[in-house]
Amino acid sequence: MAEWFVGTGVEMRYLLAVAVLVLGLVAGYLVGRLNRQILSRLGVDEAVEGTSLERTARNLNSDVISLLGNASSWIIYVVTAVYSLEIAGLVETSVLLSKFADLLPSYVLAAVIVMGGLLVGDKVEMSVDEWLKGIKFPEITLVGQLLRYTVIFVAVLLALAQIGVAVGVLVLLLGAYLLAIIVLLASALHQLLAAGGAGLFLLLTQPYTIGDRIAVGEREGVVQEVQLFVTKIEEDGRVYLVPNHLVLKNGATLVLDV
């Protein structure tokens, strides 16, 4: 039991316990409200838009800012409640509170690291998917997912290290995981890399240019644009996107006007 109220009468201890509890409830409410205002001004809502954190918050009929603010409030509520019980002499929590105070910063930081990893991982996946759609490879969603899980795995690893968990085995698992990622990315990006290499060759050698009529396999039309990954040809109001590696593989026939 804390020294400052040892020897105090039972009634006075109860009054002190109630006073501390009330102050803790008020402080928890104010801290939660302040945190919500700070997070809102920092643009957290926009930052987590479209991520798994936002979807989880919606499933709980809430939002990320409210959840974070409420979490900070509840930490204060719990600590205050336990301390009030000790003041009232109902439980002995000095050792527990001391350990809790020592561990709290590490666990809070670990939670922040995990949440940051989830947020960054989602943003990486969304950015990669948008980039792949922009270069006409929307079907390669595996790349973004792999990068997302890699970021989350590293975040969890850092969080476990923060709370004192031995991570030697996890580091080995991370190495094996990264090796598997490299192999999977090489497999997933095979067509993309092939198209990019072929596109670079076509841009340098220019066997055809904009305005030329070419035939590639079953497609024939007028060249509209030669990009790094695809060649755009137009015919009868339709624009065909022909991957450049297919141009080299099947060959392009230059159709001359007779």
Tell me the pLDDT tens digit for each residue of 51-68.
777 777 777 777 878 888
CATH code 1.10.287 for 104-188: yes
**pLDDT reading at 149 higher than 50:** yes
**pLDDT reading at 6 higher than 80:** no
| Residues 12-47 pLDDT 10s | 878 888 888 899 899 989 998 998 888 888 777 777
Q: What are phi and psi of 38, to 5 degrees?
A: -65, -45
Looking at residue 154, its pLDDT comes to 86
Looking at residue 23, its pLDDT comes to 92
What span, in angstroms and rounded, lies between the C-alpha atoms of 159 and 155?
6
The neighbour count for residue 98, using CB atoms within 10 Å, is: 10
| Residues 162-216 pLDDT 10s | 877 776 777 787 788 778 877 777 776 677 777 778 888 888 888 888 888 888 8
Looking at residue 74, its pLDDT comes to 86
Looking at residue 40, its pLDDT comes to 82
Structural domain spans, the chain: 1-92, 104-188, 207-255
Looking at residue 245, its pLDDT comes to 83
Looking at residue 196, its pLDDT comes to 77
207-255: same fold as 104-188? no
Per-residue pLDDT band for 1 (boundaries 50, 70, 90) equals very low
CATH code 2.30.30.60 for 207-255: yes
| Residues 214-240 pLDDT 10s | 888 888 889 888 888 888 899 888 888
- pLDDT averaged over every residue in the chain: 79
| Residues 67-111 pLDDT 10s | 888 888 888 888 888 888 877 777 666 666 666 667 777 888 888
Per-residue pLDDT band for 136 (boundaries 50, 70, 90) equals low
- Residue closest to 151 by CA, chosen among 117, 119, 123: 117
